[in-house]
């Protein structure tokens, strides 16, 4: 009787699903940057947490998904919400089904929402499986010629004029003190201002790089010191995605 009770109990123990971290193209047309391993895994999933529903459907379709979207469950991870029930979002995995996390572009949970969901997955004993794909931060660093051994990603800088100038000077100082490459991003419509202020306030010997529309047909990458930037025509990257790097 004891053995039968043990056997029945074992059968009722539910195996948890896994959380796959699914990269998507940085540029929508660059579907060849996504390995077949990633699409094979993604197309088998029925449950997703995504940054935006519309973008997720479009990206899945551009990556070759032929299925019916009515047959899969996509939950949106709203980065503007202050109280998100991450455990509830992970219910499919807790109930035994594999699921995926996707951001708008590139790798999820890096400079994008998702890290809290991944943290909760670990807390709930859900296996997390990161898949290989493009990261704009790493691509920008690789192509900048700057220090790839020590670097720091700052996210977004303050956007007000005085604050932006102070932040640029501060991260230049941080680069000197820590011997690090400093990396940051900005809203596409403020790209021009970032370049103008960087050229204005940074030391002429400081290296400054701009990487825009990475992997796309309009890809632009330039790395030079501020003195050289002052003699060059500023790139036209208004309203385009871009990453900025500084090494002093």
pLDDT at residue 18 tops 60: yes
pLDDT at residue 107 tops 80: yes
Gap between the Cα atoms of 41 and 60, Å rounded: 12
Give the residue-averaged pLDDT of 155-181: 92
pLDDT at residue 248 tops 60: yes
* Cβ 90 vs Cβ 8: under 8 Å: no
The token pair at 145 is 């010629």
Q: What integer pLDDT is reported at residue 162 of this predicted model?
A: 85
* Cβ 20 vs Cβ 129: under 8 Å: yes
Phi, psi angle pair for 53, to nearest 5°: -60, -50
Q: What integer pLDDT is reported at residue 67 of this predicted model?
A: 87
Residues in CB range of 244: below 8 A, 6 or more apart: 183, 184, 185, 186, 194, 198, 208, 209, 210
**Which of 54-68, 88-102, 137-151, 176-190 shows the lowest per-residue confidence on average (mean pLDDT)?**
54-68
Confidence of residue 159 (pLDDT cuts 50, 70, 90): confident
Instruction: Pinpoint the alpha helices (H) of 95-160.
Output: 115-123, 136-144
Confidence of residue 79 (pLDDT cuts 50, 70, 90): low
State the burial class of residue 15 (Cβ atoms within 10 Å of its Cβ: 0-12, 13-18, 19+). exposed
Mean pLDDT of the chain: 91
pLDDT at residue 10 tops 90: no
Gap between the Cα atoms of 78 and 54, Å rounded: 13
Give the residue-averaged pLDDT of 182-191: 93
The token pair at 96 is 């035994």
The token pair at 38 is 């990633």
Share of residues in the chain with pLDDT > 90 (%):
76
**Which of 29-43, 75-89, 125-139, 163-177 shows the lowest per-residue confidence on average (mean pLDDT)?**
75-89
Confidence of residue 39 (pLDDT cuts 50, 70, 90): very high
Q: 129 forms bridges with which residues in the sheet? A: 20
Gap between the Cα atoms of 154 and 144, Å rounded: 16
* Cβ 13 vs Cβ 96: under 8 Å: no
How far from 186 is each of 48, 82, 100, 189, CA to CA, in Å? 28, 22, 27, 8
Give the residue-averaged pLDDT of 75-97: 89
Q: 106 forms bridges with which residues in the sheet? A: 24
Nearest to 244 by CA among 153, 177, 159, 161: 153
Confidence of residue 2 (pLDDT cuts 50, 70, 90): very low
User: At which residue do the structure tokens 């632009």 appear?
Assistant: 220
Q: What integer pLDDT is reported at residue 14 of this predicted model?
A: 66
């Amino acid at each position: 009787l004891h053995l039968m009770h043990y056997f029945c109990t074992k059968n009722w123990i539910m195996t948890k699903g896994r959380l796959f971290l699914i990269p998507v193209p940085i540029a929508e047309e660059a579907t060849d940057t996504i390995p077949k391993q990633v699409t094979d895994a993604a197309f088998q999933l029925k449950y997703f947490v995504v940054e935006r529903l519309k973008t997720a459907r479009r990206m899945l379709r551009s990556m070759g998904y032929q299925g019916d979207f009515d047959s899969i469950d996509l939950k949106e991870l709203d980065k503007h919400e202050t109280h998100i029930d991450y455990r509830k979002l992970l219910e499919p995995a807790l109930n035994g089904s594999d699921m995926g996390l996707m951001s708008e572009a590139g790798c999820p949970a890096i400079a994008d929402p998702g890290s809290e969901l991944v943290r909760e997955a670990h807390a709930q004993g859900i296996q997390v499986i990161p898949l290989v794909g493009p990261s704009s931060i790493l691509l920008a660093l690789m192509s900048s010629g700057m220090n790839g051994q020590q670097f720091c990603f700052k996210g977004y800088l303050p956007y007000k004029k005085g604050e932006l100038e102070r932040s640029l000077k501060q991260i230049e100082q941080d680069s000197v003190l820590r011997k690090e490459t400093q990396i940051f991003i900005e809203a596409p419509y403020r790209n021009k201002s970032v370049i103008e202020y960087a050229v204005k306030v940074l030391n002429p010997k400081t290296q400054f790089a701009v990487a825009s529309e990475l992997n796309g047909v309009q890809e632009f990458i330039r790395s030079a010191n501020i003195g050289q930037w002052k003699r060059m025509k500023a790139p036209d990257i208004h309203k385009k995605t871009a990453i900025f790097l500084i090494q002093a």
